[in-house]
């Protein structure tokens, strides 16, 4: 009963870096990802100047940074508006899109 809830969302960036360290430890120098070493490991497959289709918009880099930050919000059910909340797995989330998705 003394369990405390973690009030932050997952730290996605740290989790991915740890997974990468497990898979390719030689790509790290003094605990930090060395992009040059990573490119060398993949050789010809690490081309960065290929033409390709993609989505781009002003502020895209900032949006990607925001996705990686931890959230401290909490999702709370509104029991008065819920139907059979205790018996179903269905839930409606309302709020800022990015924050709600990160907490979901």
pLDDT in tens, the chain (104 residues): 567 767 777 788 888 999 999 999 988 988 888 888 888 787 766 555 666 788 888 988 888 788 878 888 888 878 888 888 888 877 777 777 788 888 77
Identify whether the C-beta of residue 46 lies closer than 8 Å to the C-beta of residue 39: yes
* Among candidate residues 27, 28, 49, the one with its CA nearest the CA of residue 38: 27
Task: Identify the burial level of 99 via C-beta atoms within 10 angstroms of its C-beta, where 0-12 means exposed, 13-18 middle and 19 or more buried.
Answer: middle
Is residue 97 assigned to a domain? Answer: no
Is residue 96 assigned to a domain? Answer: no
What's the total number of domains in the chain? 1
Is residue 30 assigned to a domain? Answer: yes
CA 91 to each of CA 4, 10, 12, 20, 97: distance values in angstroms, whole numbers, following the listed order: 23, 20, 24, 34, 15
Is residue 77 assigned to a domain? Answer: no
Residue 48: its pLDDT value, please?
A: 58
Is residue 31 assigned to a domain? Answer: yes
Q: Is the pTM of this model over 0.85?
A: no
Is residue 15 assigned to a domain? Answer: yes
Range of the domain at 40: 1-58
């Amino acid at each position: 009963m003394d369990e405390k809830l973690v009030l932050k969302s997952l730290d996605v960036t740290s989790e991915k870096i740890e997974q990468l360290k497990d898979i390719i430890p030689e790509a790290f120098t003094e605990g930090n990802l060395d992009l040059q070493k990573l490119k060398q490991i993949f050789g010809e497959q690490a081309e960065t100047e290929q033409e390709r289709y993609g989505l781009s918009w002003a502020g895209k880099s900032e949006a990607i940074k925001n996705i990686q930050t931890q959230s401290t919000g909490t999702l709370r059910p509104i029991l008065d508006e819920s139907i059979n909340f205790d018996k179903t797995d269905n839930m409606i989330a309302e709020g800022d899109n990015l924050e709600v998705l990160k907490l979901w």
